Structure 1
Amino acid sequence: MTRRIVAVFGRVIPVLILVSLGTAFLIELVPGDPAVAVVGAEGAPEQYAAAREALGLDRPLFVRYFDWVGGLLHGDLGRTLVPPVQDVASLIAARLPVTLEIAVLSVGLALAISIPAGTWSAYRYGRTFDRLTSAMSFGLISIPSFLLALIVIYLVVFRPEIVTALIIAVTATTAAILILAAGRSRSTKTARERRHVTLAAIGILAVGILLVIFLPDFPRQGFVRIGDGGLGENLRTVALPVLVLGLAESAQLTRVLRSDMVTTLNDDFVLAARAQGMPRRHILIKEALRPSTFSLVTVAGISFGRLLGGTVIVETIFRLPGMGTLIVESVSRKEFMVLQAAVLTVAALYVLVNALVDISYLYLDPRTRDDRP
């Protein structure tokens, strides 16, 4: 298994080299001249030539690329071309934590929603819960992220009383359904199972009451770093974008897990566990969940990589200083050094996440741990 892990990480370096080369060549195809951004639109040709020479833009592409790689190996990503001049590394260091926090929390929220929803939807295949979950998933998939962001802002920021009413209605309805279901199935449920259902209903009601009492006021826009306002204020400012992205990703993850779980529940080893009288919780969690998570882990890794560089619209709506807006700004300002470093950083994280996903297969399925060729 160790050799497999080393082989997975060994594929990261060639991919990053190809990404850096591709980025350098694509940057050359971007229209515009950084010298114009430095000198201004009214400059003389001599001034533009002097600016290009000072910026090193008069040298061949390969020379500039290898100079940049040499600086990268020494931890130097260069400096911005357009004033105010600053280190590219410090600029990325200020933006990357914002995007990482949003991506990690969003994927975490999506998994927290999709795993129980997809598991129970597969177990209740074709029934009311499955149909409701499928309808909600398809609805969330069909809503663009910017529209979902505007809906969330309208409800949470401008009409919080609607959110409060929805929380009360959903928690009360869910608890009532659980209690009624437990009461109707006394012949098939043991006293312990009915007690667990009752405790779950009470817990759902308690969570709803706590949410109504302690639900904070969420800001419309902006971002507060942990060092500036503390963890609580930081989480309050990222709650809405995380909710938007988490809901959008959870719909797809729920569909993926439900599809694989339905197949797994019909496999022979699961049917054998049922024939042996194993509890439902054991069958769902111990027997069926792990072999059903291959596609879930893969899609979650892809979602995380996509959120690292593809949340430009959400970052713009909520005014988050993340990597997505940095890449767009660097293109518009012809900041090629920033663009190249930002794309390489996002690509490195994306490749690293996919490598970790490949390694996770070794733990999810023991059959993949064989080191033999």
Structure 2
Amino acid sequence: MRTRRVLARLARLAAVLIVVSTLCFLSLNLLPGDPARAILGESGTPQSVAALRQELGLDRPLADRYVNWLGDILRGDFGRSYANRQPVADIILARAPVTVELIVLSQIIALAAAVPLAAVAAIKRGTVVDRGISSLVFVAVSVPSFVLAFVLIWVFAIKLGLYPANGFVPISAGLGQNLGSLFLPALALAAGPAALYQRVLRADLVETYGQEFMNVARAKGISPLRMAVRHAFRPSLLGLTTSIGVVAGVLIGSSVIIENLFSLPGLGSILAQSVSARDYVTVQGVVLVAATSFVLINAVVDLLYGFIDPRLRKTRTAGRQAGRAREVPVA
């Protein structure tokens, strides 16, 4: 039964990925007019437009182009950048680690701030402390990431000189310098998610604190901190886990502005450069990778639900058994 459930989830995942790949493929073909003419601009000659149409396969039927494109994608061939003639797969592999590290670091910062604030707000709910944290969270969620980025650059880079205002230092040059070059952009990206995580986790913790097993723990004289850590957190993590999965995918798109502000050589910056240069082949490849990453992240989150709260597995099993019982004919 578990194998059947896993196969069903894999089938749904494959279907979603096929839809995502189809939409990414059609993005190039939905350009107004001739895509080759749009890429070359007004300076393109009829000969160069015809050559580019042949290179992109635009002279073949749409179905044939999609089958060939999908086969190339499955082999890791995303085509060649029209701007610099480099393989798009090599461009993505070279820049993806920067974006992944930026997103992971921003998520760590967001969780490090949100979890303790949510726990304190839930324990002190209705008090001045809770209202103060709520006000702070409201400010964090209201300020756009690019505005916060300018403030961070002005304070920590220009005024205090603690961190660089732009540029990226690879890990090979030293972990401290690497993290220093990513701290300000990661902090700018982390503010909004931290506010969201705090709100979601606080609401779930307050609901958990009202359940019967928490009343029993409270009657036993267990300290509030121990109650939060050992009894309240795990049942309250479902909403937070869902939020992390959604936000991690959204941050791939949000990183476009931040990477350009801080001059980081990630996927966001190359996406913006490719759009400006009308390098739609690179745009298509980067968008496909970002969309696929979003789908896979949320698929992993869905699998984690049963491990976080075993009651969900029991509920699903009971639901399937009830469904089979209704299907059995009564003699």
Question: Scaled by the length of structure 2, what TM-score is found?
Answer: 0.88
Question: In 2, distance between residues paired with 1:330 and 1:63?
Answer: 26
Question: In 2, distance between residues paired with 1:2 and 1:112?
Answer: 36
After superposition, the Cα gap between the structure-2 partners of 1:305 and 1:44, relative to the gap in structure 1 and judged at 3 Å, is: closer
**3-state secondary structure, aligned to 1:220:** coil
After superposition, the Cα gap between the structure-2 partners of 1:39 and 1:155, relative to the gap in structure 1 and judged at 3 Å, is: closer
Sequence identity, in percent? 42
**3-state secondary structure, aligned to 1:222:** coil
Residues 259-305 of structure 1, C-alpha deviations (whole Å, 9 max, x = no match): 11111111111011101222322211111111111111111111111
- Deviates further, 97-106 or 66-75: 66-75
CA contact (8 A) 2:39 2:279 kept: no
1:1-373 equivalence runs, <5 A = 3-31=4-32, 35-36=36-37, 41-82=42-83, 84-160=84-160, 217-227=162-172, 229-370=173-314, 372=317, 373=320
Letter in 2 for 1:218: Y
Question: In 1, distance between residues paired with 2:41 and 2:59?
Answer: 18
Question: In 2, distance between residues paired with 1:112 and 1:364?
Answer: 19
Deviation (angstroms), 1:61: 2.4
Deviation (angstroms), 1:20: 0.9
- The count of corresponding residues between Structure 1 and Structure 2 is 316
Letter in 2 for 1:359: L
After superposition, the Cα gap between the structure-2 partners of 1:94 and 1:366, relative to the gap in structure 1 and judged at 3 Å, is: same
After superposition, the Cα gap between the structure-2 partners of 1:33 and 1:102, relative to the gap in structure 1 and judged at 3 Å, is: farther
After superposition, the Cα gap between the structure-2 partners of 1:50 and 1:75, relative to the gap in structure 1 and judged at 3 Å, is: closer
After superposition, the Cα gap between the structure-2 partners of 1:327 and 1:32, relative to the gap in structure 1 and judged at 3 Å, is: farther
Letter in 2 for 1:335: D
Question: In 1, distance between residues paired with 2:311 and 2:194?
Answer: 29
RMSD between superposed Cα atoms in Å: 2.1
Q: Which has the higher contact order (CA 8 A, sep 6+)?
A: 1
**3-state secondary structure, aligned to 2:73:** helix
Unaligned runs of 5+ in 1: 161-215
Question: In 2, distance between residues paired with 1:36 and 1:25?
Answer: 17
After superposition, the Cα gap between the structure-2 partners of 1:32 and 1:244, relative to the gap in structure 1 and judged at 3 Å, is: farther
Question: In 1, distance between residues paired with 2:72 and 2:149?
Answer: 40
Residues 136-160 of structure 1, C-alpha deviations (whole Å, 9 max, x = no match): 0000111111111111111101222
Question: In 1, distance between residues paired with 2:310 and 2:39?
Answer: 58
Deviation (angstroms), 1:4: 4.1
Residues 235-268 of structure 1, C-alpha deviations (whole Å, 9 max, x = no match): 1110101111112211111111111111111111
CA contact (8 A) 1:222 1:319 kept: yes
**3-state secondary structure, aligned to 1:310:** helix
Question: In 2, distance between residues paired with 1:12 and 1:224?
Answer: 36
**3-state secondary structure, aligned to 1:293:** helix
Question: In 2, distance between residues paired with 1:36 and 1:233?
Answer: 44
Residues 189-221 of structure 1, C-alpha deviations (whole Å, 9 max, x = no match): xxxxxxxxxxxxxxxxxxxxxxxxxxx831111
Letter in 1 for 2:45: A
Question: In 2, distance between residues paired with 1:104 and 1:231?
Answer: 15
CA contact (8 A) 1:294 1:361 kept: yes
Question: Scaled by the length of structure 1, what TM-score is found?
Answer: 0.79
Question: In 2, distance between residues paired with 1:24 and 1:41?
Answer: 24
Letter in 2 for 1:225: P
After superposition, the Cα gap between the structure-2 partners of 1:364 and 1:220, relative to the gap in structure 1 and judged at 3 Å, is: same
Deviation (angstroms), 1:333: 2.7
Question: In 2, distance between residues paired with 1:339 and 1:154?
Answer: 32
After superposition, the Cα gap between the structure-2 partners of 1:40 and 1:148, relative to the gap in structure 1 and judged at 3 Å, is: closer
Letter in 2 for 1:223: F
Residues 117-151 of structure 1, C-alpha deviations (whole Å, 9 max, x = no match): 10111100011221111000000111111111111
**3-state secondary structure, aligned to 2:233:** helix
Question: In 2, distance between residues paired with 1:220 and 1:158?
Answer: 7
